[in-house]
Every structure is written in C-alpha cells, then in structure tokens.
Amino acid sequence: MDALILIVEDEAPQAEMLRYNLESEGYRTALASDGEEGLALAQSLVPDLAILDWMLPGMSGVDLCRSLRASDATRAMPIILLTARGEEGDRVQGLDSGADDYVVKPFSPREVMARVRALLRRARPSLSEEELSYGDIQMDLAAHKVKRAGQTLHLGPTEFRLLRALMERPGRVLSRDRLLDLAWGREIYVEDRTVDVHVRRLRKALNEGGQVDVIRTVRGEGYAIDDVQ
C-alpha cells in the first residue's frame, strides 16, 4: 500500500496544492486544518510522514511536532515543517522541535516532493525497492509473487498486502487498526476480527512447508514479523 502522508495546514489553497501533488505521485493523503486535528489524525492513522505548517491557529506546527515526538506511535515519523519564516534562528528552532526537514514558503511543489521522497526512502527503504525479504521469505512486489524457501506460495490479495505491511516493518508490532489501514485502506469499514482471520490464513500459507512461524501475535497489541516466539 502506498505511503500515507498527513498534511496539517490551515491555508486551504496550500493544503490542496500539497494534496494534489502528493496524490499525483501516488501517495495517499490525510488533511487537517489545525494542530489539534492534526495530532488526533496522526495518532489514529499513524501516517508514514507528516508535513506541518508552522503557523497554525491554536497549537503551532512546532508544538505539534514536539507532541508527535513525545508519543510512542509517532516518535519515528518523518516530519517536514513548512514556514514563511526564513531566519536562521527559526530554522534551528524548527529542527530543535524534532522536525527532520524544513521548507521555507513560498516553495515549489517539486522541492517538497523531493524532500518527501528522500525522507521516506530513509525511513522505509523498502518503499523504493521491488523486492522484500525476511529470512527465507521473498516478496516480489512487481510480479506479486511470494516464495518461502524457494517454493512459490499462493496468497490471496489481502494476505499479500498484510505480509507486505509486516515485511516492510520487521520487528515492529502493528496494531489491528494499523494493519487495517495498511492492507485494506482507511476508507473501508472492516471489523478488527477480520484481521485475525486473514493473519491466520497468511500464517497457514507461510507455514505450509512446516517452517518456523515468523508471525508473532502480541496479545492485546497486534502482530509483528520477527523471530521472537
């Protein structure tokens, strides 16, 4: 599933311009027009990257950035701060708040897209790769094929997306909500229990050859792909 980018910007034309450009590049987007809404969306959707405007009504982009860095779910999220300010002191304050990058308005969409790509590549190298591997499991994303120990596995489309979501984040526990967002998309209503059903199918397919179960169930939390049993 393509990366989800959160845009927090109170100026509608700017927000739309960013949304248009991001979606043209194949990203999914979520929009918030103030810091509080941005924080709520960041916590519920756990986007892959956030673009925050500095000057927002209420909570500023810098304060929002600090809040995101203080929360477990969003601590490692790449953040780009937008601002009309260009002073060196502001730049330092922006980066001090935990932003990964800083873009001064007015900016060209091309410039922002380049920063987004660079940050995503750094955060999730697999986004720019055609193949994922974990232990003896290989996923060919372009050909939509999965092999384990050289044997081709037959996965349904949902199981394929689930496995991809897990393999892109090895060792990380993903909640059912997060898996729903990654494998089904956020617009579709699916019950949490459905995730369990598909994880069971995925497990069965992966372990067909009697191999070690690499999917770890974390009670009350979710699932991860790793060696710890």
Nearest Cα neighbor of 54 from 88, 8, 22 is 8
Instruction: Please select the residue that binds Ca ion; options are 48, 53, 159, 181, rule is CB under 5 A.
Output: 53
d(CA 36, CA 71): 14
Q: Which residue number, 35 or 47, has a Cβ lying nearer to Ca ion? A: 35
Give the range of 54-62, 132-140, 187-195, 218-226 binding Ca ion by CB under 5 A. Answer: 54-62
Q: How far is the CB of 27 from Ca ion (least distance, A)?
A: 21
Residue 33: CB minimum distance to Ca ion, A: 9
Residue 10 sits in the site that holds Ca ion (CB under 5 A): yes
How many angstroms separate the CA atoms of 174 and 72, rounded?
13
Of 49-57, 70-78, 119-127, 132-140, which segment contacts Ca ion by CB under 5 A?
Answer: 49-57
Q: Note whether 55 binds Ca ion by CB under 5 A.
A: yes
Part of the chain binding Ca ion (CB under 5 A), chosen from 30-38, 52-60, 133-141, 142-150: 52-60
Between residues 10 and 159, which has the closer beta carbon with respect to Ca ion? 10
* Positions that interact with Ca ion (CB under 5 A): 10, 53, 55
